[in-house]
C-alpha cells in the first residue's frame, strides 16, 4: 500500500504506538503464464511446500518430479498428477520441454544439480542456503553468472509483500538511525525423520549429519540474515556463537539450541538465536531505530513508534491491538471497507505463505518479466554468514567474515 496512506498513532499511555504493515495486495501482480512445464528436484518437506505454491500459478505445470528416495518420490508424484518420476536429476534435465527447475534437495547436494541444470539451459530456483560450503556456494554464483538463464535463490523475504513495504519505512525518517537488530526462530521439533528403511537413514536425516549439515544458523539463520543484509546493505564483519543440546538427547552431536552475535560495519550488532526445544514467539526479525522499531514475522509486520518521534502525517486506517503491556494501533489496508463488511481482521496478514511470492517472482522472471529480487551473490553473503555462524557455535570461537569468503 502506498506510504501516503499510513500514519502513526500515539497510545493513551504515550510510550509506544504500533502499526501493522499490511500492503495493498490489490496493487500487486497476479501472474498468469502461458503453458510452462517445470521440474521439481527434491520431494521432501520443502519440495512439497514448493509444489503447493507452484500449483497456485495459472499456467505452471509440474511435469516432472525427482527424488532418489523411493517413498518421497511416490509422495511427490501423488501431489502432481500426470508428472513423470525420476530417481536421477540428470534424466529429468534431459527433457527439452521443461523450462525451469526447482531444487529442494538437501543443501549439500545443491551445487552439482544447480550447475547441471544451468548447463542444460534451464532456469533455476535453488533453495537457500545455496550450499553447505563456501566453495560450493561460490561455484554456484559463478555458474549463475555465466548463464543466460534465470537463477533465483529461495530467500523468500525479498519477495514477501509485507517485507517489501516495511523496507520502504525502514529507509525513511520513520525509523531513522539503526541502533541494533535481533532475530529468532523457535520451533519445537526434532529435525529427525522416522526411517523405515535403514538404507535411507543418511539421506533423510542429513540435517543431523555433522559431515554435511550447517545446523540451525545455516539452515534457518541464512534466511533471516539475508533480510538484514537487504534492509541495511551492511557487511557482516565477524560472528561468535554458543550452542548446546537442551531437549533432543538422542545421540546427536548437533546443538538443538544456539545463540549468535553478528557484528556489522558501523558498530551495529545482530543478536540471533534458534532452538528446537521451544516454540514461543516463533520466527521474527526486529530492527531497532531511533524513531521506531520494525518487527517482521513473515506473514505480518508491525512498526512501533517512539513517543518522541515526529509525526509523519499519513492518513490513518486503524484498529487497536494489544502488544504485551502496550496498547498499539493496527493499521490495515482498506480498513474502512473491510470494517463495513465485518471483515476487518481478515485484512491482517498475507493470503499466501511467503514461498508463494518467491515462486511467483521466479516464474515471472522466467517468462520474461522483471529480474528476480534476489541474486546468487546475495545468497553467497547470507550463506557464508550462516556457515561461519555454525562453525562459531561448534567451536565456541569468533569467526571473521573476510572479503575472500564473500567474493566469487
Q: Give the residue carrying C-alpha cell 495493498.
A: 24
The answer, yes or no, to whether the previous bond of 279 is cis (omega within 30 of 0) is: no
Q: Pairing mode, if any, of strands 178-186 and 326-331?
A: unpaired
Mean pLDDT of 206-220: 97
DSSP letter for each residue of 245-284: -SS--SS--S-SEEEEEEEEGGG-EEEEEEESS--TT-EE
Inter-axis angle of helices 134-146 and 110-119, to 10 degrees? 10
pLDDT digits (tens, 9 = 90+) for 223-233: 999 999 999 99
How far, in Å, are 39, 49, 51, 94 from residue 79 at the CA level? Answer: 13, 11, 8, 22
Which stretch of 1-15, 23-37, 97-111, 262-276 has the lowest confidence by average pLDDT? Answer: 1-15
Residue 313 has pLDDT above 80, yes or no: no
Q: Is the dihedral of CA 358, 148, 127, 55 positive or negative?
A: positive
Rg of the chain over CA atoms, in angstroms? 22
User: Is the pLDDT reported for residue 316 higher than 80?
Assistant: no
pLDDT band of 330, cuts 50, 70, 90: very low
Mean pLDDT of 27-36: 71
Question: Nearest CA to 67 among 100, 96, 89, 38?
Answer: 89
Question: For residue 26, how many other CB atoms are within 10 A of its CB?
Answer: 9
Residue 275 in this model has a pLDDT that exceeds 80: yes
20: confidence class by pLDDT, cuts 50, 70, 90 = low
Q: How far apart are the C-alpha atoms of 309 and 6, rounded to whole Å?
A: 15
pLDDT band at 305 (very low <50, low <70, confident <90, very high): confident
pLDDT tens-digit profile of 280-298?
999 999 999 998 888 899 9
Give the pLDDT score at 124: 98
User: Which one is predicted more confidently, 319 or 61?
Assistant: 61
* Proportion of the chain above pLDDT 90, given as a percent: 72
Out of 3.40.50.720, 3.20.20.100, 3.40.50.10490, 3.10.50.30, the CATH code matching 30-156 is: 3.40.50.720
Q: 403 to each of 243, 332, 407, how far by Cα in Å?
A: 26, 42, 6
Tell me how many helices (H) and strands (E) the chain has: 13, 17
Q: Band of the pLDDT at 309, cuts 50, 70, 90?
A: confident
pLDDT digits (tens, 9 = 90+) for 38-60: 999 999 999 999 999 999 999 99
* Cell numbers for 252: 546427536
pLDDT at position 24 = 64
Q: For residues 52 and 47, what is the distance between their CA atoms, to the nearest angstrom?
A: 9
What integer pLDDT is reported at residue 33 of this predicted model?
81
Count CA atoms closer than 13 A to 264's CA, side-chain side.
21
Check pLDDT > 90 for residue 130: yes
User: Residue 153 pairs with which residues in a beta bridge?
Assistant: 126
List, as one string, the DSSP characters of 342-357.
T-GGGGSS-SS-HHHH
pLDDT of residue 344: 44
Q: State yes or no: pLDDT of 117 exceeds 90.
A: yes
Alpha-helix residue ranges (DSSP H) falling in 100-247 = 110-119, 134-146, 161-170, 201-204, 215-219, 221-232
Give the residue-averaged pLDDT of 97-123. 98
Domain spans in the chain, listed from the N-terminal domain onward:
3-26+158-348+383-395, 30-156
The residue written with cell numbers 553468472 in the block is 145
pLDDT at 8 over 80: no
pLDDT reported for residue 322: 56
pLDDT of the residue at 341: 53
Read out DSSP for 188-206? Answer: --------SSGGGHHHHTG
pLDDT value at residue 308? 82
What CATH number has the domain spanning 3-26+158-348+383-395?
Answer: 3.30.360.10
Over the chain, what is the mean pLDDT? Answer: 87
Average pLDDT over residues 190-218: 94
**Angle at the Cα of 16 (from 10 to 22), degrees rounded to 5?**
80
β partners of residue 318: 331
Amino acid at each position: 500500500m502506498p506510504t501516503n496512506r499510513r500514519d502513526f498513532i500515539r497510545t493513551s499511555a504515550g510510550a509506544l504506538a504500533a502499526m501493522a504493515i499490511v500492503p495493498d495486495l490489490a496493487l500487486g501482480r497476479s501472474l498468469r503464464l502461458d503453458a510452462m512445464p517445470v521440474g521439481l528436484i527434491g520431494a521432501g518437506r520443502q519440495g512439497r511446500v514448493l509444489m503447493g505454491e507452484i500449483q497456485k500459478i495459472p499456467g505452471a505445470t509440474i511435469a516432472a518430479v525427482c527424488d532418489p528416495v523411493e517413498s518421497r518420490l511416490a509422495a511427490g508424484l501423488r501431489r502432481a498428477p500426470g508428472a513423470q518420476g525420476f530417481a536421477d536429476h540428470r534424466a529429468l534435465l534431459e527433457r527439452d520441454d521443461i523450462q525451469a527447475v526447482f531444487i529442494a534437495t538437501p543443501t549439500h547436494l545443491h551445487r552439482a544439480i544447480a550447475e547441471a541444470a544451468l548447463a542444460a539451459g534451464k532456469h533455476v530456483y535453488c533453495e537457500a542456503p545455496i550450499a553447505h560450503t563456501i566453495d560450493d556456494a561460490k561455484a554456484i554464483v559463478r555458474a549463475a553468472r555465466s548463464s543466460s538463464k534465470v537463477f533465483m535463490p529461495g530467500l523468500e523475504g525479498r519477495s514477501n509483500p509485507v517485507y517489501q513495504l516495511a523496507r520502504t519505512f525502514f529507509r525513511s525518517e520513520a525509523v531513522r538511525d539503526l541502533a541494533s537488530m535481533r532475530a529468532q526462530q523457535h520451533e519445537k521439533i526434532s529435525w529427525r525423520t522416522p526411517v523405515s528403511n535403514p538404507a535411507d537413514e543418511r539421506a533423510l536425516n542429513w540435517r543431523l549429519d555433522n559431515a554435511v549439515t550447517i545446523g540451525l544458523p545455516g539452515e534457518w539463520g541464512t534466511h533471516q540474515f539475508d533480510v538484514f543484509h537487504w534492509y541495511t546493505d551492511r557487511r557482516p564483519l565477524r560472528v561468535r556463537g554458543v550452542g548446546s543440546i537442551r531437549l533432543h538427547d538422542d545421540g546427536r552431536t548437533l546443538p538443538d539450541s544456539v545463540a549468535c552475535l553478528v557484528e556489522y560495519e558501523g558498530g551495529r550488532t545482530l543478536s540471533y538465536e534458534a532452538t528446537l526445544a521451544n516454540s514461543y514467539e516463533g520466527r521474527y526479525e526486529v530492527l531497532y531505530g531511533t524513531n521506531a522499531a520494525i518487527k517482521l514475522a513473515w506473514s505480518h509486520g508491525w512498526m512501533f513508534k517512539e513517543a518522541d518521534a515526529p509525526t509523519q502525517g499519513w492518513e490513518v486506517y486503524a484498529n487497536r491491538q494489544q502488544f504485551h503491556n502496550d496498547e498499539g494501533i493496527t493499521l490495515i489496508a482498506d480498513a474502512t471497507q473491510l470494517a463495513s463488511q465485518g471483515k476487518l481482521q481478515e485484512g491482517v496478514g498475507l493470503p499466501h505463505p511467503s514461498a508463494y511470492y518467491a515462486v511467483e517472482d521466479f516464474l515471472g522472471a522466467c517468462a520474461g518479466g522483471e529480474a528476480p529480487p534476489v541474486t546468487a551473490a546475495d545468497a553467497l553473503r547470507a550463506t557464508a554468514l550462516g556457515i561461519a555462524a555454525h562453525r562459531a557455535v561448534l567451536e565456541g570461537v569468533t569467526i571473521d567474515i573476510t572479503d575472500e569468503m564473500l567474493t566469487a
